Structure 1
Amino acid sequence: MVILKKIWICLVLLSVSAFAQKGQKTAFQVVPLGVKGGIDEKNLSAYLLAPSNATDFICLDAGTIHAGIEKAIENKVFKIPSEVVLKKYIKGYLISHAHLDHVSGLILNSPADSSKTVYATNSCMEMMKQHYFNGQTWANFGDEGNGYLIKKYHFQTLNPKEETRITSTTMTVKAFPLSHVNPFESTAFLIKNGEAYALYLGDTGCDAVEKSNKLSLLWTEIAPLIKNKQLKGIFIEVSFPNEQPDSLLFGHLTPNYLLKELRALSELTGKNPLKGFKIIITHMKPPVENYAKIKTQLKKQNDLDVQFIFPEQGKRFEL
């Protein structure tokens, strides 16, 4: 009887372990095409996101495309030509705002690209149509706006908080406004696949500095997803180290301000759901010595025990 009881206990423990491992199964794969802010035109914000078992990627911002694909091929993430990744794997673009470090890759690669959809909020889309794809600054590869319409890209305007299907994928997206030098707006994208979610924030300032409540409203929206373990990670920027004065933040975050915002989020979720939760740090700006400083400051101030991830261009990871 004693032996049978021990066997039964072992089986129970194995079942619990197997269940826990199943619960930790990843939902998304990420291939960063560009991870920095600032002056390095070969490495600006752009992240390919797809379900773990698929290669139907959406590109979150598009500062760098071609150089990032080449880097991923060099790292053996992709074993196909770069033009196949561009034309076949990337199913569309989610553009958070129209600053050039978030759209220049989309513009420059448009002649070589295939037909697909560009998603953005109304203010962002209008800026792209007026200033970039206008038939003068650049040929209008879209299906709206000025100049001759090449109609390679379908320009789809996202309404805030309205769930929209991402064409040619199994994913959907909801857009939420962010403050990036108030009143200028950036965008957060909540991407859903099945019951799993990922959250990507374009450039954003702290509510206190921006005199805004945009992040507070976003945290209220996503807190239940964190508590239910449905949200697999948050992409959020930290552009400057703590030494940067508020007057020179230009709508960006420091480690201090990110932790301030995460603590506000923890008031809605409780601290336990955030332990080990993945926070992907984006948009660190040069000089190079700032990168190490930002990482050190984040790790030192991490009283919530979140898992900070510092993505590298062309290196795949999972959420």
Structure 2
Amino acid sequence: MRWLLVLIGMWVWPFSALAGGFDVVALGAHGGLEDGNLSAYLVRPIGEDRGVLCDAGTIFNGLEMAERRGAVSAIAIPPGTSWTRSGYIAREVVKGYLISHAHLDHVAGLLVLSPDDAPKPIYALASTNRAISQHLFNGAIWPNMGDRGNSPRIGLYHYRDLSIAVSISIDGTNLRVTAYPLSHGGIASTAFLIENGSDALLYLGDTGPDDIEHSHALHALWQAIALRLQAHRLKAIMVECSYDDSRPDQLLFGHLSPHWLLRELREMQKIGGVSLKGLPVLVTHIKPTLKAAPAPERTILSELEAGNSGLGVRFVIAEQGAHWMWR
């Protein structure tokens, strides 16, 4: 079922020019349990067939779902290619991976795809790349597909350590990325500010609220993007909300609930000094439940909308195979 979902949605925020922008497809949307539908988002400049994957919990299964839903039908596949559409996109359209942290629900798809993938970079903070090379691509859990760590090194993936608040180009694309640290229950996670010309998109990996994490990471992130917000360059935010508000704070384990997400968005608005009204906020990483209860998407969206007064953002719940265009 879809919750306020439009398969191809164009949103123009005030004063934005009809140029640039971002094409986003959810290859995986959930934050656990459903192993064929875990965090992974294909991000491209609108009208271009070269992009990057934000996290890689699910890749091939997500591409197959996206193809069935028509979300990747506009991507041009060269005539005579030996690859399926999903295979071509995985190998040739995805030019690299932005990995927020090394938890399995954010990297499992990368591991299982790797024997059939093409060479490309893994962009992450040094601590995340170290965890991937030492504990995943290490020859024991999985063959060492990277260019660091235990021998033999296959070298398919080149680790690119990102420096905090330093913008770099994403190889093979017209995108740039800047990494900012997040706190995820004592684990370092990452927010990626992705830029296409003057347009920006903010993707947050797993994060808890500053107050519970005893951190200033989100406050610092809101400060870092304030100028882009004021200039109406920020086209959308992709941010987690793993649990509904019935979840006790002490059991959030480095995640957000609607109460805390709304609080952080108000802090972002306060620091930016500009209204967020109309800004698309894609809600990611919702955790499915084994309980016989209403779908968590429904509950979380209801709680977010109930507290949206004074913000007026446009909440959209991420769903596998869905497609958005923001500019």
CA distance in 2 between counterparts of 1:78 and 1:297 reads: 32
SS at match of 2:174: coil
**TM-score normalised by structure 2 residue count:** 0.88
**What is the Cα deviation at residue 77 of structure 1?**
2.4
Runs of at least 4 residues off by over 4 Å: none
CA distance in 1 between counterparts of 2:234 and 2:182 reads: 19
Q: Which runs of 5+ in 2 are unaligned?
A: 1-13, 78-84
- The amino acid across from 1:309 in the alignment is V
Q: What corresponds to 2:204 in structure 1?
A: 201
Equivalent position to 2:29, from 7, 32, 35 = 35
CA distance in 1 between counterparts of 2:298 and 2:286 reads: 10
CA distance in 2 between counterparts of 1:174 and 1:163 reads: 4
Q: What corresponds to 2:132 in structure 1?
A: 128
Say if 2:268 is the partner of 1:269: no
Residues 220 and 22 (structure 1 numbering): CA distance in 2 closer, same or farther, change over 3 Å? Answer: closer
**What is the Cα deviation at residue 22 of structure 1?**
6.4
CA distance in 2 between counterparts of 1:172 and 1:21 reads: 22
Matches within 5 A, 1:277-288: 277-287=279-289
How many residue pairs get aligned? The number is 298
CA distance in 1 between counterparts of 2:231 and 2:59 reads: 34
Equivalent position to 1:301, from 301, 307, 317 = 307
Greater RCO structure (CA 8 Å; 6+ sep): 2
SS at match of 2:211: helix
CA distance in 1 between counterparts of 2:18 and 2:211 reads: 35
Of the two, which has the highest radius of gyration?
Answer: 1
**What is the Cα deviation at residue 143 of structure 1?**
1.1
Query: Contact 1:136–1:147 (CA<8 Å) still a contact in 2?
Result: no
Residues 187 and 40 (structure 1 numbering): CA distance in 2 closer, same or farther, change over 3 Å? Answer: same
Query: Contact 2:32–2:105 (CA<8 Å) still a contact in 1?
Result: yes
Cα deviations by residue, 1:38-74 (Å, 9 ceiling, x for unpaired): 1001110000001002011100000000110001110
Matches within 5 A, 1:56-71: 56-71=50-65
Identity between Structure 1 and Structure 2 (%): 43
Query: Contact 1:58–1:92 (CA<8 Å) still a contact in 2?
Result: yes
Equivalent position to 1:98, from 102, 105, 121 = 102
- Alignment RMSD: 1.4
Query: Contact 2:20–2:197 (CA<8 Å) still a contact in 1?
Result: no
Query: Contact 1:115–1:152 (CA<8 Å) still a contact in 2?
Result: yes
Query: Contact 2:20–2:199 (CA<8 Å) still a contact in 1?
Result: no
CA distance in 1 between counterparts of 2:146 and 2:279 reads: 38
Say if 2:132 is the partner of 1:166: no
**What is the Cα deviation at residue 289 of structure 1?**
2.2
Q: What corresponds to 1:254 in structure 2?
A: 257
Cα deviations by residue, 1:231-284 (Å, 9 ceiling, x for unpaired): 111110000001100110000000000011111111122353x01011110000
Matches within 5 A, 1:68-79: 68-79=62-73
Residues 164 and 25 (structure 1 numbering): CA distance in 2 closer, same or farther, change over 3 Å? Answer: closer
Say if 2:232 is the partner of 1:229: yes
Residues 163 and 64 (structure 1 numbering): CA distance in 2 closer, same or farther, change over 3 Å? Answer: same
